Amino acid sequence: MTHSLPTDGLRIVFAGTPGFAAHHLQQLLDSRHQVIAVYSQPDRPAGRGKKLMASPVKQLAATHNIPVYQPLSLKSAEAQAELAALQADIMVVVAYGLLLPAAVLSIPRLGCINVHASLLPRWRGAAPIQRAIEAGDDMTGVTIMQMDVGLDTGDMLVKSTCPITPEDTGGSLHDRLLTLGGPALLEALDQLQAGQAVAEVQDDALSCYAAKLSKEEALLDWRLPADVLARKVRAFNPVPVAYARLAGSAADERIRIFQASVLAASNGSSPGTIVEVSSRGIGVACADHTLLIEEVQLPGKKVVTVEELLRGHGDYFRAGDTMELPGQ
């Protein structure tokens, strides 16, 4: 015998900041649940003018006349009292950017749940989408997790999976996971409200740490295998974007690389040596095979295919030139 869920939705406090979070907020706004308040990171300077910019979550909340709170921290008694006064049933956290102290986790009646963009416990931390591609995983997904004091260590409520294709970039996978997160979140909320949620404890032995992305690690090291570099190119597109520099060029003359593939044949040249310049791409020797760079952006220019680049800058790359090796 099945029981229908209560028609009255949960009173939800939503905490999130970027566009990924705003998408999930919209899913809640379109549901039977009631978003009574939103927490988001303080406005930040953005753009060339460095004007203060509200987060996507704050902007969306404003269009629905939902109260927005932007504390610098949730550690103070004042901030916690403010949250408690809202008398929420549950807090939904999606890429908020602030740690939730233990005292906060127990304020809502049903606690706090999180939408995490990996199949926990595989990738805990800040950049699970990019690290999954970089590591060569063939499967990922979204996990709805009951939050605890650890970093993405809470019990799992709902999982939704999807494959990682050989063509996936950080951007394309982000967009696909976006479509999984909303339904999974609503399923978890329904289960919690009906008292039917079954929490699964994470196996810590299976976890990896998805470290935050940095511009420094986006500089390609040609001493690595070509397939490792090809995955890095895909993972770091569109942020922070893998890059290289011709040996001897200025530090700000980055060649940003948006698309590349592996040429199976070994070339025998030293890592970093340009072995091919043709309309199909720029081939650079790696530890084993050759990485064929197919789509690039030169400083101050737009993103183009190598074929397009060579029409106007045919002498920019020449076979025999070398790419800079990190640390040298």
Tokens of 223: 């001493």
Q: Say whether 206 counts as a known binding-site residue.
A: no
Q: Say whether 173 counts as a known binding-site residue.
A: no
For residues 289 and 266, is the Cβ–Cβ distance under 8 A? yes
Cβ atoms < 10 Å from Cβ of 277: 20
**For residues 168 and 161, what is the distance between their CA atoms, to the nearest angstrom?**
15
Cβ atoms < 10 Å from Cβ of 90: 20
Name residue 78's amino acid: E
Q: Say whether 120 counts as a known binding-site residue.
A: yes
- Strand runs (DSSP E) across the chain, as ranges? 11-16, 34-39, 44-46, 51-53, 68-69, 90-94, 112-116, 123-125, 139-146, 156-163, 208-210, 242-244, 255-263, 274-278, 281-285, 290-297, 304-305
Q: What is the dihedral angle through the alpha carbons of 184, 188, 193, 198, rounded to the nearest 10 degrees?
A: 150
| DSSP per-residue codes, 81-141 | HHHHTT--SEEEEES--S---HHHHTSSTT-EEEEESSSTTSEEES-HHHHHHHHT-SEEE
**For residues 233 and 255, what is the distance between their CA atoms, to the nearest angstrom?**
12
Q: Say whether 121 counts as a known binding-site residue.
A: yes
φ, ψ of residue 234 in degrees (nearest 5) = -65, -45
For residues 28 and 188, is the Cβ–Cβ distance under 8 A? no
Angle between helical axes of 170-193 and 19-29 (0-180°, round to 10): 40
What residue numbers does the annotated binding site for (6S)-5,6,7,8-tetrahydrofolate cover?
118-121
Q: Which residues are annotated as a binding site?
A: 118-121
